[in-house]
A and B are shown apart, each in its own frame.
Chain A
Amino acid sequence: MSSATHQKQNPAFYALLVLLVFMAIGPVLLMLANSFKLDVDIISGATGLIFLPTIQNYETALCDIIWYEPDHLDFCALKFGGSFINSIIIALFSTALTLVIGCMAAYALVRFRFMGRDTVSISTLLVRMAPPAVLLVPVFGLWNNEFCIDKNTMVGEWIRDTFGGRGDVCLAGTHSGIIIIYVAMNLPFVIWILQSFIVQVPRPLEEAARVDGAGPFQVFFLVVLPLIKPGLAAAAIFTFRVAWNEYLLASALSDRDTKTVPILIVNNMSEFNVEWGVIMATGMLLAVPPIIFTLLASRQIITGMTAGAVKG
């Protein structure tokens, strides 16, 4: 539709739009502004919108990974930087794994008739239904007590000698423990989204590759994967977002060295004395990747979101 056909709208309509946009992004902008303010400015509030922006809060938050020593800090108490790196490792690895495993499964379900499609659609809903709080109990028990390597076995001894630690080596407290549960949580949804993209890949294209002598794996990697890139992007964003934002399971399964940023934010919120500026800066650091994704790929995100409800 060309711009000439856009209807003329009531001014009240535009006023409503402005109000809606303001309500949607106002809180985010407010947090952004506060993350550049000193605590005195936040608390006095007198300065309002006029203030001298400072990156002190960000320096405090990231003090353990920046290469210089900020002037205003005597020593680095809040080690947000380390958990920031944990967050990145966990989110990236679980996204990559989910995508690889998920698109293989989706392809099998679409192209090979050996299992019902219904199983996937039902399990998608089942997993969507199960709140992380429900997974918390069994996973907490299993990861802490059952999925362990005994310290007296050879492998256990080797792991203990190489990586340190005293007792049995358990899945709890490791990056892998958190990554596995995120992969499992996201898989059904990713399989669901990718199926609807793979169905659209023209079959003759695959058959032509077959005739030329390509095996099923070559067809998959060289023909199918390049064609479903938009689907992969949507799936990647959703998976990354869950892994990046999740708090509950991460807090139950991580230890001092593997905790992610959401855990640190919650821990510091419950302290009696809230350092608003630093908390807001950390919040912004956590919010920025999803915001960038949204701005870059909103079309894909909306497609992914509607794939489940509108087309399903």
Chain B
Amino acid sequence: MKTAAINRLAPYVFIAPAAVTMLIALVYPLGYMIYGSFRSWDPSQKLGETEFIGLGNYIQLANDPAFLESLGVTLKFALVVVSIEMLLGVGLALLLDRSIRGMSVLRTLFILPMMIAPVVVGLMWRYMYHPTVGTFNRSLKAVGLDGVDWLGEYALMSVIIADIWQWTPFIFILSLAALQSLPQSALEASRIDGASPWQQIIHIKLPLMMPVLIVTCLLRLIDAFKVLEVILVMTEGGPGLSTEIMALRISRTATEFRELGVAAAMSNYLLMMLMLLTVGMFAFTRWQELRAARQRKMIEEEA
């Protein structure tokens, strides 16, 4: 009798702590934020005492040039960063997908940059970009060239370079794992048919890797919208608003300007954008998966 009761209760005992934590610290706050985005919300008040203003915050943002600028910067940053990282990462994976001694050591060294705190990454690059003390300008001057104002006029580019340094390894590692789990029979068959390495890449490896590449791209894209600390440490959003990404704008609106309602509306815009992206990517993945499955079958039948 007693054991039966324990068995019946067990699932709930196992799941309860996780459910409670997520309710308190994720679900409830997100609902609270959506509710707050419709109100004129000052952090010193309780949300219940604030004034309901409908879509006021959303409309205010849609007409706010600083917000629109940060939206543009965010999109530019994310798109440039992800496309360059995908190209470099997949390219490197294709190049290094061979049996060489010490591959595991290499992989360990390559994943180091993404394990280091973003704050520290920002700090390292801020030092290297420094106009007089920094590594880059010192090297340029050593070979007789003029220094570049890395974090001034070219701030966005410099921030993008730092992100590429940190996150290309992510795409490299995932692509390499995908490459190494490809069906060897298909590659073997194409080699026997006389396909050149290049043809193999275009017609067999890349199509078969496609599902993984899309998930990788999606994960990286989501993360690119989250980047904050690296940019904060390097440029603090400046000069002007040239590197003020949305995450930075949100935190500034919330903590500096103390306009929680506006910041909440901004967060909702950001979430909606990410959600659209994810849904779009997933629809695309499903479609690609079906195609890849068909292709795999065809290749295996030929072999």
Spell out A's residues near B (CB within 8 Å): 1, 3, 5-7, 9, 13, 16-17, 20-21, 23-25, 27-28, 30-31, 34, 42-43, 45, 100-102, 104-105, 107-109, 112, 114-115, 123, 125, 127-142, 144-146, 180-181, 183-185, 187-188, 191, 215-217, 220, 241, 244-245, 247-248, 252, 262, 265-266, 269-270, 276, 279-280, 283, 286-287, 290-291, 293-295, 298-299, 301-302, 305-306, 308-310, 312
Contacts and interface: CB of A to CB of B under 8 A. Distances in A.
Nearest to A241: B115
B174 A134 contact: no
Nearest to B116: A287
B260 A137 contact: yes
B288 interface: no
B174 A306 contact: yes
29 contacts: A7-B98, A9-B98, A17-B96, A17-B106, A24-B110, A101-B18, A104-B13, A105-B14, A107-B14, A108-B14, A133-B270, A135-B26, A137-B33, A141-B41, A142-B29, A145-B44, A145-B47, A180-B24, A183-B25, A184-B21, A187-B21, A215-B7, A241-B115, A248-B229, A252-B254, A270-B236, A283-B123, A287-B116, A287-B117
Interface stretch (B61-69, B150-158, B194-202, B214-222): B214-222
A23 B166 CA distance: 10
A16 B22 CA distance: 46
B186 interface: no
- The residue among B32, B101, B112, B247 with the most chain A CB atoms within 10 A of its own CB is B112
Contacts of A241: 115
B124 A248 contact: no
A53 to B, nearest CB: 18
Contacts of B7: 215-216
Contact of B30 (A23, A43, A138): A138
Interface of chain A, main secondary structure = helix
Contacts of A105: 14-15, 17-19
A123 B215 CA distance: 16
A114 B165 contact: no
The DSSP consensus for interface residues of chain B is helix
B177 interface: yes
Given A180-B21, A294-B112, A306-B174, A135 B15 contact: no
A269 B233 contact: yes
Interface string B90-110: 001001101111001011111
Contacts, number: 285
A244 B25 contact: no
Interface of B: 3, 6-7, 10-11, 13-15, 17-19, 21-22, 24-26, 28-30, 32-33, 36, 41, 43-47, 92, 95-96, 98-101, 104, 106-113, 115-120, 122-128, 133, 135, 138, 165, 169-170, 173-174, 177-178, 181, 212, 215-216, 219, 222, 225-226, 228-229, 232-233, 236, 246-248, 250-251, 254-255, 260, 263-264, 267, 270-271, 274-275, 278
A132 B271 CA distance: 11
B45 A145 contact: yes
Contacts of B18: 101-102, 104-105, 187, 191
Nearest to B180: A310
Contacts of B228: 131-133, 247-248
Contacts of B45: 145
A269 B126 contact: yes
Nearest to A31: B124
B303 to A, nearest CB: 23
Contact of B10 (A9, A130, A138, A216): A216
A254 B11 CA distance: 36
B10 A217 contact: yes
A144 B46 CA distance: 9
A247 B115 CA distance: 15
Contacts of B222: 128-129
B278 A279 contact: no
Contacts of A191: 18
Contact of B112 (A140, A279, A291): A291
B25 A181 contact: yes
Contacts of B226: 131-133
B17 A104 contact: yes
